[in-house]
Amino acid sequence: MSMDLLERIQDPHDLRRLQPEQLPQLAQQLRQFILDTVSRTGGHLSSNLGTVELTVALHYVFDTPHDRLVWDVGHQTYAHKILTGRREQMGTLRQLNGLSGFPRREESPYDSFGTAHSSTSISAALGMALAAQHKGERRKVVAVIGDGAMTGGMAFEALNNAGVHPEADLLVVLNDNDMSISAPVGALNRYLARLLSGRFYANARDAAKQVLKVAPPPLFELARRLEEHAKGLVAPGTLFEEFGFDYVGPIDGHDLHALIPTLENLRERTGPRLLHVVTKKGYGYKLAEADPITYHGPGRFNPAEGIKPPAVAPKPTYAQVFGQWLCDMARRDERLVAITPAMCEGSGLVEFTKQFPERYHDVGIAEQHAVTFAAGLACEGLKPVVAIYSTFLQRAYDQVIHDVAIQHLPVLFAIDRAGVVGADGATHTGAFDIPALRCLPGFTVMAPADELECRQMLSTGFALDGPAAVRYPRGAGTGAHVDRSTLNALPLGRAQLRRESQARAGHRIAILTFGPVLHAALQAAEALDASVINMRFVKPLDVDMLRRMALGHDALVTVEEGVVQGGAGAACLEALQGLGLQIPVLNLGLPDAWLEHGDPAQIMAACGLDATGLLRSIRARFPQAGGEEPEPRRRAAND
C-alpha cells in the first residue's frame, strides 16, 4: 500500500493542512503502518487498530499540544505517536532505548500525561482544565477513556468531581468498544437496562401505545423502531448528565465524517462534556476483529498468516502453573474461590472459569474492591485467592493493610509479573511488593525459584490461617517438572542450601537468593566457589540459616528481583543486627531508578542480575573472591 499521505505528516500541523476528504485514506495508511510495525516488534494491536480514526479526528480538530490530550491506559496510542513525529522510531517500539508502548511526558510534548494503568485520565484532565482556568489560559483538555477503564472506581470519582466544576473546559471521549483486555463485567450496562425498564419509561411507552393503537400498522411499526433507536440514544446520556456532563452520542468512532464535525461543535462549547463513540477493537484487520483478545498484545507474527501456535510447545509460564494449581486445589477444597480484577487471561484463569464458574469472580478494573471483597469472603469461612499483577496490587495497598492484614484474614495473593516485565517498562515493573508486604505483621511472603516451588508455595499459603503472598515473574521458568498429583506445602520459613563452598577461610562467600535469581547465582557461585542458599521465604525469614551462613562465611550477598531499599536483603540485615552478628553484606537487586522497557534479559543484565553481573559486583565488593567468568545464560523471553 502507498504511504504517500502518511509520509507527509511530521506532526499534527501537517495533518491539519489536509482536506477532510483525504482523511479516510490517511486513516487506511495509518492502520496498515501500525499492523506492519507491530507484526515486526510485537506490542498492543487490537486496541490501536480500533482508535485510528478517533486519533486522526482529535489531532485534526484540536490544537495539540497546546490543547491537552490524555489517553487512559495509553496502550492505544500508536497512531498518536506516529502522527506526532515518531513514525521513524516505531521500529524501536518497546525495545531498549526505543519508544515506549505508552505515553511518556519525557518522550514528546504531545504526551501531556504519562499513563499505563487504568482509569486515571479524567482525574488528570480535570486537573489540567482547572489549572488552565486558574492561570487564565485558553486551553481545551480532552480525556480519552475506554468503556473497560470507565468501570474503574477512580473514573467515577473524577466524574463526580468534574460535575461540580462548570468552569472546567473538559471533554471526555468515551471510547466504547465493548471490552477492555478481558471482556468487561459489572453493573453499568445493567444500570442502563434498569433505566429503560423503569416506571417513567414504561408509563411513557404505554401511553404512546394507547395513542397509536388506532393508528395504521405502518405508523405503529415506525413508532416501534423509533423506540428501539431511542434506547441507544437516550439512556447512556442519562447516567452522565446526572454527573453534570453534557452528553453527546453515541456516534460511529470509525466515521470521520461524523467524528470531525461533532468534535468541532464540542470544541466551541465549554464545561464538562462527554462524547460517546463506538469503535471495534482490531478494526480493519479481520483476524484481530474476530479475536481481539489473542491480538491484544501479540509478539512478532506474519500479518498475512496471523498468529500461529509455535512449532515446539513452549515451557509452561508461571501464570499457567498457577492456573493449574488453582484448579487442582479447588477440586480438593470447596472453600476456594478465585478473584481477579479484569485479568482473566493474563493471570492464567481461563481453565478455572470453565471448570468452576460459580467460584470465579472477575470484579472488573477495581483492585481495591477485589481485595476487600476477598476479605468479606474470608470472614465467612471461604478461602479466597486473589490473582493480581504486582504493579496493580499497588492500587489496593490500603485495602491489603486495613481490610486483610489487620484482621489477619486467610487471603492468598498470587502476585504475577513480580520483578522485571520487559517491554512494558516502568509502569508495569513489579519492583515494590516485597517492601510493601514484608512490613505487615502476620503476613507471609514467598518467592519461588522455579515452577515447582511456585506450586508448593501456593499450597503453603493456602493452608495458612492468615494472609500470604506468592510472588512470581512473568513468562516461563526453568522448565522444572511439576507433579500435578500432589499439593504438598513447604515447611514454613525454611530455606534450602543449594551449594556449599569449599573455599578456604577468608574467601568464603555465601549468596542468599530470593526467587528465580537463584539460577544466575548458582552460575556465579561456580566461578567463586561460593555457597548458595535459596531463601524461599521473605517473611518469616529463616533466621537459623542466616545465622549459620554468617558464622561459617566471611561475607554474605543477598540477591532479589525487587528494589533493594526495604527489600529482602534489608530484612537479612535487620535479622543480623537482631542476632548481634557483624559481617560484610552486599545487597543486590533492582536499582533505585525507574527501569526502561526492553528485552527482559537485557534489563536483567543492565541491572547486574545476570550471572556475569553478579560475579562482577561480588568481586568488586570482595576482591578476595576469585574464579572465572560464568557462561552466559539467557533468561526466557516474556510470553
Strand 444-446 relative to strand 537-539: parallel, antiparallel, unpaired?
A: antiparallel
Give the cell for residue 526: 561456580
List 278's β-bridge partners, or say none. 176, 252
Q: Are 45 and 68 in contact (CB under 8 A)?
A: no
Strand 273-278 relative to strand 246-252: parallel, antiparallel, unpaired?
A: parallel
Query: Any catalytic annotation for residue 281?
Result: yes
Q: What CA–CA distance (Å, rounded) separates 414 from 407?
A: 19
Q: Is 345 exposed, middle or buried (0-12, 13-18, 19+ CB in 10 A)?
A: middle
Query: Any catalytic annotation for residue 367?
Result: yes
Q: Outline where DSSP puts E strands in 212-296.
A: 246-252, 273-278
Half-sphere exposure of 75 (CA within 13 A, CB side): 27
Q: Give the active site residue among 281, 455, 474, 499.
A: 281
Q: What CA–CA distance (Å, rounded) separates 604 from 632?
A: 12
Sequence-distant (≥ 6) Cβ neighbours of residue 616 within 8 angstroms: 608
Give the cell for residue 41: 516488534
Q: Give the active site residue among 31, 86, 87, 395.
A: 395
Residue labelled with grid coordinates 462549547: 269
Q: Give the active site residue among 31, 68, 140, 367.
A: 367
Q: In the sheet where 141-146 sits, what is the strand order? A: 68-71, 141-146, 170-176, 273-278, 246-252
List 175's β-bridge partners, or say none. 146, 277
Q: Are 633 and 523 in contact (CB under 8 A)?
A: yes
Q: What CA–CA distance (Å, rounded) separates 639 from 318?
A: 10
Three-class secondary structure of residue 101 per DSSP: coil
Q: Are 116 and 427 in contact (CB under 8 A)?
A: yes
DSSP 430: B
Query: Any catalytic annotation for residue 335?
Result: no
DSSP 363-427: --S-HHHHHHHHHHHHHTT-EEEEEEEHHHHGGGHHHIIIIIITTT---EEEEES-B--STT-TT
> What does the angle CA 340 – CA 344 – CA 345 come to, to the nearest 5 degrees?
150
Q: What CA–CA distance (Å, rounded) separates 236 from 250?
A: 8
Q: What CA–CA distance (Å, rounded) separates 109 from 90?
A: 17
DSSP 288-344: HHH-TTTTSS--S-BTTTB----SSPPPPBHHHHHHHHHHHHHHH-TTEEEEESS-T
Q: Which contiguous run of DSSP H or E holds residue 98?
A: none
Q: Give the chain's length.
A: 639
Q: So which residues are the catalytic ones?
A: 281, 367, 395
